[in-house]
Chains A and B, each alone.
Chain A
Amino acid sequence: MRDNAILVVVARFLIPLVMLFGLYVQFHGEYSPGGGFQAGVLFASAWILFVFIYGLETALRVIPQRLIYALASLGVLLYALIGVLGVVLGGHFLDFYPLLDAPKAAQQTGIILVEFGVGVTVAAVVMLIFLLFARRRADTVAAGLDPDAADDVRVDAE
């Protein structure tokens, strides 16, 4: 799709905007609707738009597949570590109060960190799922199957 000028221009304009909005939703989630999950999805959709315009291989040069695996796990790990940190510092699991001295600041820090963990995981997993589905077609053709073939119409023979 790289040769369609309108698409490329509009996408070039939109992709940074969507990513910026994703970051806004991520870090402004305490004050307005939003949070880690929505931010992750927005970021991933900007990435998917990039894939549509520039192709999967270009996108994978920017964020390699291994990095996506690592990010998906790291997000959950960050979340769990924050939880364990609360235990180490003398509270309950996922208790944010021991993190800092001021209780409100401690809660806010905890919330921002776990939301960030959720955001990273969601973005990476959505990217991974889309990547796998998009790869599948090339693989199917490579295996000698025709993805566009009509169904075997065995039903009608009954």
Chain B
Amino acid sequence: MTLLSFINYWAVIILMMTGYYCMIVRGNMIKKVIGLGIFQTSVFILFISAGKVIGGATPVLREGVERYSNPLPHVLILTAIVVGIATTAVALALTVRIREAYGSIDDDAIDAAEEDDRV
């Protein structure tokens, strides 16, 4: 139980906060999608590292291996990656439509376009 045993969580937290910051600060929609991707992968790492057993092996049964890592998180994350690419595709399609409707994919420019419409 040294301090090093939490290092996976800290890496996850740093990545997660990087993605979070990217989503808050960047006005550009594609940047937001990328930030969302970074956030997502940080959660993937959290799950996968929770499933790891030190000295374990990939969960494919074979002779001479005593201890396997936990397969359950792997399955969950496999599904999560699939859903992640689905949401990314939908977000990008929305980005394209926003660009066509407002002529921009930046938050500020879209706000300005809205203002113009209202006047």
Using CB atoms and an 8 Å cutoff, list the residues of chain A in contact with chain B.
Answer: 31-33, 35, 37, 122, 129, 132-133, 136, 140, 145, 149, 151-155, 157-158
Pick the contact of B103: A33, A37, A132, A152 (CB < 8 A): A152
22 A-B pairs in the complex with CB atoms less than 8 angstroms apart = A32-B60, A33-B60, A35-B78, A37-B78, A122-B82, A129-B89, A132-B93, A133-B93, A133-B96, A136-B96, A140-B100, A145-B100, A149-B103, A151-B105, A152-B104, A152-B113, A153-B109, A154-B113, A154-B116, A155-B106, A155-B108, A158-B112
Known: A31-B60, A136-B96. A37 touches B82 (CB 8 A): yes
Known: A136-B96, A154-B112. A33 touches B58 (CB 8 A): yes
Interchain Cβ contacts within 8 Å, total number: 38
Residues of the B chain whose Cβ atoms lie less than 8 Å from the Cβ of A133: 92-93, 96
Residues of the A chain whose Cβ atoms lie less than 8 Å from the Cβ of B108: 155
Known: A133-B92, A136-B96. A155 touches B60 (CB 8 A): no
Q: By DSSP majority rule, is chain A's interface helix, strand, loop, or mixed?
A: loop
A151 and B104 within 8 A (CB): yes
**Chain B residue nearest in CB terms to A37:** B82
**A109: shortest Cβ distance to chain B, in Å?**
19
6 more CB-based (< 8 A) A-B contacts, given A140-B100, A149-B103: A132-B93, A133-B93, A151-B103, A152-B109, A153-B109, A154-B112
- Give the complex CA separation of A35 and B79 in angstroms: 12
Residues of the B chain whose Cβ atoms lie less than 8 Å from the Cβ of A157: 112
Within 8 A of A (CB), among B56-92: 58, 60, 78, 82, 89, 92
Residues of the A chain whose Cβ atoms lie less than 8 Å from the Cβ of B60: 31-33
